[in-house]
Amino acid sequence: MRQDRTDSAMTDDEWMAEAVALAIREKGSDPANTPIGALLVKDGKLVAASVNHTAEHCDATAHAEIETFRAAGKAMGEMRVEGSTLYSTLQPCGMCTMASIWVGVSRIVYGAGRDDVHKMYFEDRNLDTIDFVRDAYKDDLTLEGGVLTAECAKLYYGPDDDVPEDKQANQ
Ligand SMILES: [Zn+2]
């Protein structure tokens, strides 16, 4: 254990572990509750963090990432957080990826990707947000998966889980 560790020395794995812990703390670890955690970090410091509140707020746009951006805007007193990194336990959907562009996020780092979880978590079969970013007009946003994938994927229904149709709510 390093004695001189500061927040700015936190690794992607450590930030993702925070996101996983937040998701479990707020939503529990049952996939039925869709525990998704997101953090926004800038210059090695946590700006804001949230979980998804779609069911609680009756708001289809209240994904963990969007909730985090809203909290970040309030915390910073401005709508953009240029050069920030978004951590999410689940690969962000198209809406959240686009919102990241508006916020000024430079890096999106996620845990479980679309191949690690049930297809219900994603809005379509063919569009991958990696392609979405590539095809968008912003070219300085990077998308990186594979951070604590197993720990994150455990929070959700797996690709082969038999999820009843009426339980297949999106994030
Ligand atoms: Zn989303």
Query: Quick check: 5 pLDDT over 60?
Result: no
pLDDT confidence of residue 45: 95
What's the 129 CA to ligand 1 centre distance in angstroms?
Answer: 11
pLDDT confidence of residue 83: 93
pLDDT confidence of residue 171: 42
- Catalytic-role residue among 14, 26, 56, 65: 65
pLDDT confidence of residue 2: 44
Query: Quick check: 114 pLDDT over 80?
Result: yes
What's the 95 CA to ligand 1 centre distance in angstroms?
Answer: 5
Summarize pLDDT for 61-97 with one digit per residue, the tens. 999 999 999 999 999 999 999 999 999 999 998 889 8
Token readout for 24 is: 């479990």
Picking from 97-106, 113-122, 123-132, which range would have the lowest pLDDT averaged per residue? Answer: 123-132
Picking from 84-88, 134-138, 141-145, which range would have the lowest pLDDT averaged per residue? Answer: 134-138
- The C-alpha R_g of the chain, in whole angstroms, comes to 15
Q: Is 151 a catalytic residue?
A: no
pLDDT confidence of residue 119: 86
What's the 11 CA to ligand 1 centre distance in angstroms?
Answer: 24
- Concatenating the DSSP letter of every residue in 104-130 gives TEEEEEEEE-TTTS-GGGSS-SS--HH
pLDDT confidence of residue 3: 47
- Strand residues in 2-125 grouped as ranges (E): 37-42, 45-51, 84-90, 105-112
pLDDT confidence of residue 163: 85
Query: Quick check: 170 pLDDT over 60?
Result: no
